[in-house]
Each structure stands twice: as structure tokens, then as C-alpha cells.
């Protein structure tokens, strides 16, 4: 009788331990899946360390690409802190995003502009195969240019400015490229 009681107590203890273990694993799994919502300024400040990681951001959408709303731009504390968000597999964004607070979950990506990139761009211009975006044709989308800190108003001027900035960064940091970050959206919602 004592052995039977001992076996039942041990079995009950084993069930309690294994159930408790599963609950904590679920809590840990949920904690790993949860991604803290970042403000745009914080994302841009930490972008280099977050490339190819899932992030969630929230901010004011200031612009949607006029070519099917496949890109939106979200602003941080001011218009010098802006990030491009690409619809990717979502296809496009709702135009109602513009002037609304939007929450986006996606992967942070890095676009590098180096000499090879600029030479390919020049070749497309020479061949007449360059895609034209923005309100003023060849000069590009004003919103995207502002997000990248561009000021030139012609393709040639933009390329020359990039070369100047690449040279300055190479001198200061030893990196012969410029980094521009964007979010590849996996989901989004209009908050307000």
C-alpha cells in the first residue's frame, strides 16, 4: 500500500513538473515572437545592427508611391528622419495610409550604393532603360530623395552627389558605399 501511494505521488509530481515546463516554454516562445514596436528615429539610429531582422515600426505615413502605392514613406520626429517601406509580397498599400499613423511589421533591409551601382545606373541612362519615378521624371521621387538626403535635381547631379558622399564616407569610415535602409513589409495596419 505504501508503494502504491508513493508511485501515485511521484506520478502526480511528474505531471505537475511536465505541465509547468510546457507553460514556460510557451511563454518563452511567445516572448521571442513578440517584437517591440519602434519609433522611426530609434530604428534609424540602430539600423546597421538590425539589418535582415524582423522589426515593427509605427509612425506617420507621409507619402505613397504614385505607381500603385507599392511604397510608402514613414516619418519620425521630423522630415529628416524618414524610412521607405516596400509592399513586397503584400502588393500595395491602401492610399488611406497617407497622413495616418501606420504600424508595419517586416524585415529591415539595407540598400548599398557603391561605384558599381552608380556605373550600372549610368549605363541604364545611356541605354535609355532607366525607370522614371516621381513627380518630375528623371530627377526621381522627391520623397525618396529627401529620405536619402539627396538635393540634386538631375540624374547626373544625383550620381555626382553620391560619388562625393561615398568618397567622404570612405575617408571617414573606410566604407566605400552608402547605406540606405528600408522595410520589406510583411503586414501593416492603419492605427489612426
- In tens digits, the chain (192 residues) has pLDDT values of 444 443 444 444 433 334 444 433 333 344 345 568 999 999 999 999 999 999 999 999 999 988 789 999 999 998 889 999 999 999 999 999 999 999 999 999 999 999 999 999 999 988 887 765 555 555 568 888 888 888 888 889 999 999 999 999 999 999 999 999 999 999 999 998
Spatial distance between the Cα atoms of 167 and 86, rounded to a whole number of angstroms: 29
Tell me which DSSP letter residue 139 carries.
G
* Strand boundaries in the chain, DSSP class E: 37-39, 54-64, 71-75, 82-86, 101-113, 178-190
All cell numbers assigned to 140: 526621381
Cβ atoms of 54 and 184 within 8 Å: the answer is no
Q: Where are the domains of the chain?
A: 37-190
The SS3 assignment for 144 reads helix
With a CB cutoff of 8 Å and minimum separation 6, the contacts of 97 are 61, 64, 69, 72, 188, 190
pLDDT at residue number 66: 82
Spatial distance between the Cα atoms of 127 and 156, rounded to a whole number of angstroms: 14
**Cα distance between the two ends of the chain:** 67
Q: Give me the residues paired with residue 102 across strands.
A: 59, 190
Amino acid at each position: 500500500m505504501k508503494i502504491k501511494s508513493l508511485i501515485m505521488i511521484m506520478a502526480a509530481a511528474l505531471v505537475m513538473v511536465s505541465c509547468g515546463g510546457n507553460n514556460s516554454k510557451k511563454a518563452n516562445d511567445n516572448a521571442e515572437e513578440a517584437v517591440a514596436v519602434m519609433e522611426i528615429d530609434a530604428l534609424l539610429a540602430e539600423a546597421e545592427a538590425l539589418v535582415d531582422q524582423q522589426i515593427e515600426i509605427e509612425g506617420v505615413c507621409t507619402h505613397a508611391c504614385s505607381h500603385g502605392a507599392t511604397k510608402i514613406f514613414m516619418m519620425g520626429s521630423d522630415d529628416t528622419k524618414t524610412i521607405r517601406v516596400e509592399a513586397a509580397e503584400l502588393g500595395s498599400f491602401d492610399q488611406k495610409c497617407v497622413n495616418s499613423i501606420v504600424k508595419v511589421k517586416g524585415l529591415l533591409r539595407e540598400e548599398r550604393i557603391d561605384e558599381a551601382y552608380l556605373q550600372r545606373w549610368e549605363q541604364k541612362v545611356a541605354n535609355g532603360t532607366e525607370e522614371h519615378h516621381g513627380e518630375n521624371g528623371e530627377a526621381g521621387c522627391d520623397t525618396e530623395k529627401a529620405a536619402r538626403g539627396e538635393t540634386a535635381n538631375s540624374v547626373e547631379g544625383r550620381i555626382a552627389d553620391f560619388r562625393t558622399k561615398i568618397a567622404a564616407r570612405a575617408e571617414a569610415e573606410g566604407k566605400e558605399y552608402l547605406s540606405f535602409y528600408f522595410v520589406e513589409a510583411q503586414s501593416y495596419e492603419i492605427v489612426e
